[in-house]
Chain A
Amino acid sequence: MEYILKEPERQISTKIIQIWRTTNTIGHGSFLLGFVALLTASHYWDWYNWVNITLYVLIGITVLSAIFSILIEPVFIQRTWRYDVDENFIQLKHGRWNVEHKIIPMAKIEYVTTDQGPFLRKAGLYSLNIGTTASSHKIPAIPEKEALKLRSLIASYANVKEDDSFE
């Protein structure tokens, strides 16, 4: 019987855009603070000149990266994220410039968990982690009800164990 692979269609919640913006702001902000603190110290105690140059370069890179990953990136990631689950495979697909499409057989799945940090909790979202012996994968933002349903669904599908004669 031929199995037809459908392109994944389910999307992740749009609320994640705001959350990513917040978390990326915090992340980049703390890096920036650290570099500025070092720069101040460097001027105060007269450190080597190459330290200053390096710090200016790092600050420049951080600012550029912040603009990209706060303003631009979250929208694209959310818009391009697709996943799908059926009884044989889990599919994950994301990315606009670099498109990645992963296919994981249910039979190889070892565990599935849901996570929720403070920001996700406020938005009523969960992230779903899927682990195989080889690696672990994350679907970043799924509404609570859907996430819990998906978790038990995957768990029951994955229970269909393949006899691959390992323990």
Chain B
Amino acid sequence: MNNTQEAKRYHPAYLLVELFEFLRNSFFFILFLFIFNFDVTTGWIFWAKIAFLAAAAFTIGKIFLSWRLHTYEFDRKSITLREGIFVKKVRTIAFDRVQNKKTSTSFIHNWFKLTSLTLETGTSNDEASVRFPVLKRQEADAIVETIDKGAAAETSSVESEEGETDASLPVRSEKSQRLEYFRSTNKDTLRAAFTSLSFLAIFPILLTLYFQIDDFFSIEDDAENAVLYFADHFWLLAPLFIVAILISSVIGYIITTIRYGNYRIEADRERIYITRGVGQVHTFSIQRNKVQAIQIEQPFMKRIWGIVEVKLISAEALSIGDELATNSLYPFMKTKEAYALLGELLPQYTVQDNLNRLPRNTIWLKLLRPYYVTVFAGVALWFFRPSLLWVAGVLFAISLVSRLFDYLFTRYALEGDSIQIRTGGFTTTTFVTRRERIQEIEVSQSKLQRAFGVRSLGFTNRAKPIHVSSIQDVPDGLGNDFKQWFVQRKVKLE
């Protein structure tokens, strides 16, 4: 790609992509107005048809006009976008502001060998990202390369990261090649499908479908009849149920494959690249030295299966809008495999094995703390639904178990430049960060904690939004160690 170039329009397939989007969004209107009420030409349905046609004409006109009027151009350092039909808008984004590049390829994109590209900047307002809805794949690659080159030229002098001597990621002169570190297998996807319980996903889908259809045609009576029929012929339910589970397992597997299938983690010296999805391909990349911390999450379900989800905490925006957050390395990775991968990808964050447990007496402290949820639920139920008061009992039992688990699973380690804490009852979260990455710390102690000789530690990391971590009931001495540890942070002068 040239360094400067003419203002360009999007590929004409833009029209098709947008049109398809419009049709998809108005699918039920069309179904209702023009298929099922095809020959109705009176009353409100008639007017609804006219209104719909007017809206459709307006939308299609708008799609066409925006294709005509939206342009983008590049120069050596920035992208300029011109958009808007009635209100003209010109945006210029400098390459070195672009922190994140994501591509996403839908089925339609696939047919035409196209893709969409989103460039994210560090700011948090609604102008923060630039989206190219339709691009040829080569062009998308070329844009990414242009930006990388432009940004590299801008910032090559100040790249090194605070405090961390990047022994593992040295000089950036020759651009190292991308190596693949992980590729998901069918077994992984199968495991993912089961742990995410996606085979149950069919039920909400069916329910939404039912209600959506019910909005337009009242099938409630038919449904009631069906329920009555099955109530009479109870034995019919069993095979039906098995078939439903089978179908939904298959659907769940397919959904999981579309989302997490063909999952790849690659990295070169500067960045980590994540690609996922079948049919709808999403890519995401993050700069290695901008990872602020690592968070390892393990909900109860995943603990049973021995898998974890590793998340990279970073101030860069990590998920786009409604999309699934992609800041996680593969969410369904075997624990050992995940730790090994982390060691290779981000050697500056090593996950420790020899962690400290909380002092034994803190179990009583944890159990002694007020049970706000239980009390609140109890009072509310007592006033409004005394017959359901047993729910408060269940809540009490759950909080008891959760606190017990919290005591059993909480761990901490303060070693070298890094701190690692693991907290949580049913879902445990391990958090690893380095001293230089911590924005500020807080050590606190309540009256109750003082009686037990323990404290709470808290620290914040840069992320979007700010990430606050805390660990409760660590021994008194650790509070002081933590303060002393933190103030030894190296301050690099400019």
Contact = CB atoms under 8 A, between A and B. Distances in A.
A and B from one assembly? Answer: yes
Nearest to A109: B440
Contact of A166 (B315, B445, B447): B315
Interface in A76-90: 88-89
Contact of B487 (A3, A98, A135, A164): A3
Main secondary structure of the interface of A (DSSP, over half): loop
Given A160-B493, A165-B158, A166-B315, A102 B441 contact: yes
A33 interface: no
Contacts of A104: 439-440
Interface in A13-64: none
A165 B161 contact: yes
A132 B459 CA distance: 13
A70 B492 CA distance: 46
A46 B160 CA distance: 72
Given A5-B483, A103-B483, A162 B439 contact: no
B122 A101 contact: no
Nearest to A87: B491
A103 B447 contact: no
Given A108-B440, A133-B439, A103 B466 contact: no
Contacts of A95: 444
Determine the interface band of chain B, counting residues with CB < 8 A from chain A. 20 to 34
By CB atoms of chain B within 10 A, which of A89, A103, A132 has the most?
Answer: A103
Nearest to B383: A50
B491 A163 contact: no
Contact of B162 (A106, A133, A163): A163
Nearest to A89: B487
Contacts of A146: none
Given A160-B493, A165-B162, A166-B122, A134 B483 contact: no
A123 interface: no
Nearest to B122: A167
A3 B441 contact: no
By CB atoms of chain A within 10 A, which of B440, B466, B488, B491 has the most?
Answer: B440
A5 B487 contact: yes
Contacts of B466: 133-135
Contacts of A135: 439-440, 460, 466
Contacts of B493: 160
Contacts of B492: 162-163
A101 B462 contact: no
Contact of A101 (B161, B443, B460, B494): B443
B47 to A, nearest CB: 45
Contacts of A3: 487-488
Contact of A100 (B158, B290, B442, B483): B442
B446 interface: yes
Given A2-B488, A163-B494, A133 B462 contact: yes
Contacts of A163: 158, 160, 162, 492, 494
B118 interface: no
A135 B438 CA distance: 13
A53 B157 CA distance: 69
Contacts of B289: 165
Nearest to A2: B488
Contacts of A100: 442-444
A105 interface: yes
Contacts of A89: 487
B149 to A, nearest CB: 19
Contacts of B462: 133-134, 166
Contacts of B440: 102-105, 108, 132, 134-135
Interface in A105-138: 105-108, 132-135
A106 B440 CA distance: 10
A117 B486 CA distance: 35
Contacts of B159: 165
A58 to B, nearest CB: 15
Given A133-B462, A134-B466, A101 B483 contact: yes
A101 B444 contact: yes
Contacts of A161: 494
A33 to B, nearest CB: 27
B158 A102 contact: no
B489 interface: yes
Nearest to B482: A103
A31 to B, nearest CB: 22
B25 interface: no
B452 to A, nearest CB: 14
A2 B487 CA distance: 9
Contacts of B2: none
Nearest to A7: B483
A98 B445 contact: yes
By CB atoms of chain B within 10 A, which of A88, A95, A106, A165 has the most?
Answer: A165
By CB atoms of chain B within 10 A, which of A2, A108, A164, A167 has the most?
Answer: A164
B483 A164 contact: no
Nearest to A99: B445
Interface in B440-458: 440-447
Given A88-B491, A102-B440, A103-B442, 20 more contacts: A3-B487, A3-B488, A5-B487, A103-B487, A104-B440, A105-B489, A132-B439, A133-B439, A134-B439, A135-B440, A160-B491, A160-B493, A161-B494, A162-B491, A162-B494, A163-B158, A163-B160, A163-B162, A165-B160, A165-B289
Closest 7 CB pairs of A and B: A134-B439, A134-B460, A100-B444, A104-B440, A97-B447, A164-B162, A5-B487
17 contacts: A3-B488, A89-B487, A98-B446, A100-B443, A101-B443, A103-B441, A105-B491, A132-B439, A132-B440, A134-B460, A135-B439, A163-B162, A164-B161, A164-B162, A165-B159, A165-B290, A166-B315
